[in-house]
Amino acid sequence: EPQESVILNVVSAMVDFSTSASLQLSQELDPTSRRTLLCVTKIDQHAEEGLAKKLKVAASQMRLRPERVFAVRNRKQQENEGQVSLLDARQRESDFLSAHDELQAGAKQCGYGLGVAALSASLVDIQIERIQEP
């Protein structure tokens, strides 16, 4: 709390969302999910099919509007050690997302965001909304 705070849940794509302590805590602190966003990371490491469905189910269970759910690709440890620039990392994310038909179709069908740029834009929009509130 305070009520104008945003709760950004960052959860690995490889974990069971239903057991995530941060997701459970955010539901306690924000039962209407007005202030909550879900950012699913390491999407490139989620090997099996079903990630799009996992995102859809998580949004439904948390009562999140789809535009408050995001799938992002993080830099890998070797990329960090190799000093891959943020620009190159974002390009790799974009390439991965463009080639991932399941996530692309899920995003179109459900409305969740793909990539760090989508998450950043949403955070800016939320901040603008908060500033304009009476």
Amino acid identity, residue 85? S
Burial of 43 (0-12, 13-18, 19+ CB in 10 A): buried
Q: Return the higher-pLDDT residue of 25 and 133.
A: 25
Specify the pTM. 0.89
H-run or E-run covering 125: helix 116-132
> Residues 67-90: pLDDT tens digits?
999 999 988 888 888 999 989 999
Question: For residue 1, what pLDDT band results from cuts at 50, 70 and 90?
Answer: low
Instruction: Give the integer Cα–Cα distance in Å for 1 and 14.
Output: 29
Question: For residue 99, what pLDDT band results from cuts at 50, 70 and 90?
Answer: very high
What is the average pLDDT value for the chain, to the nearest integer? 90
List the structure tokens of 5. 């705070």
